[in-house]
Amino acid sequence: MPPPIVIAIDGTSASGKSTNAKLVANALSFVYVDTGSMYRTLAWYCLKQRLDIHDAKAVARACRTWKTTLVCVKAHVRLLVEGYYPEREIRTAETSAAVPHVAAVPKVREWMKKRQRECVRFGSLVMEGRDIGTNVFPETEFKFYLDASLEERSKRRAAEGIQENLAARDQRDSQRAVAPLMIPLGATVVNSSGRTSAETSGEIIAAIRRRLKP
């Protein structure tokens, strides 16, 4: 049996990573992995434990000791905490605000990388995030980087009812000391501005299928 294929979809906030990664995974019958939700889960856990999210040592210690399990449910990978998946809790404004702080901790990114690489046990993957092609699976031949204009990304966030300074978020992500956001070497850059999800995912799917042809 051939080894699992990993399709890395990185990109800026609100560039359409999640929507398009799900469409690609569904079209190819691959397993979908949202790495952002893993960081959100840790942020939620730290808040639940009333930890200071600005204390890197405390956050790293929590990440090292919390009891988690990786499971695959309906072709979606989830990170459970003591058997529970906080699906709604990780999408609150409070959790969203905490994510950049916990994600910047080097020991957290080290732990997450190990868990994310373990996901190949579920089969071929479409994995979306901010450092998949550069840090988690740099060896994959299937790398895509999604982007869109700041104006369009801001409109998308506002439509979701979320007020977020995306320019500041981009700066934090790109200047992070460990695994900063950048275009992976050899990645295909896809701009989703003014395009539907079907058009954007269609471009990615077509590129993957061309490469998979014998």
Place of tokens 């405390």: 58
Tokens of 43: 């942020």
C-beta of residue 149 within 8 angstroms of C-beta of residue 106: no
**Entry pTM:** 0.90
Q: What is the pLDDT of residue 5?
A: 97
Domains of the chain: 1-30+123-209 (3.40.50.300), 35-121 (3.40.50.300)
Top pLDDT among 160 and 209 is at 209
Between 46-60, 75-89, 150-164, 183-197, the lowest mean confidence (pLDDT) is in: 150-164
Does the pLDDT of residue 119 top 90, yes or no? yes
Q: What is the pLDDT of residue 14?
A: 81
Task: Name the phi and psi angles at 32, rounded to 5.
Answer: -95, 135
- Using one digit for the tens of pLDDT, what is the confidence trace for 162-213? 777 777 777 877 777 677 778 899 999 999 988 999 999 999 999 999 998 8
Q: How far is CA 53 from the centre of its chain?
A: 20
Q: How far is CA 76 from the centre of its chain?
A: 13
- Rounded distance, CA 57 to CA 69, Å? 23
User: What mean pLDDT is predicted for residues 56-85?
Assistant: 97
Does the pLDDT of residue 75 top 80, yes or no? yes
Give the CA count within 13 Å in the CB-facing half-sphere of 135: 21
Q: How far is CA 48 from the centre of its chain?
A: 22
CA dihedral 169, 170, 175, 179 (to 10 degrees): 100
In this prediction, residue 132 has a pLDDT band, given cuts at 50, 70 and 90, of: very high
DSSP bridge pairs for 142: 7
Residues contacting 72, CB < 8 A, separation 6+: 31, 78, 122
In this prediction, residue 214 has a pLDDT band, given cuts at 50, 70 and 90, of: confident
Q: What is the pLDDT of residue 209?
A: 95
- Using one digit for the tens of pLDDT, what is the confidence trace for 1-41? 788 999 999 988 888 899 999 999 999 999 999 999 999 99
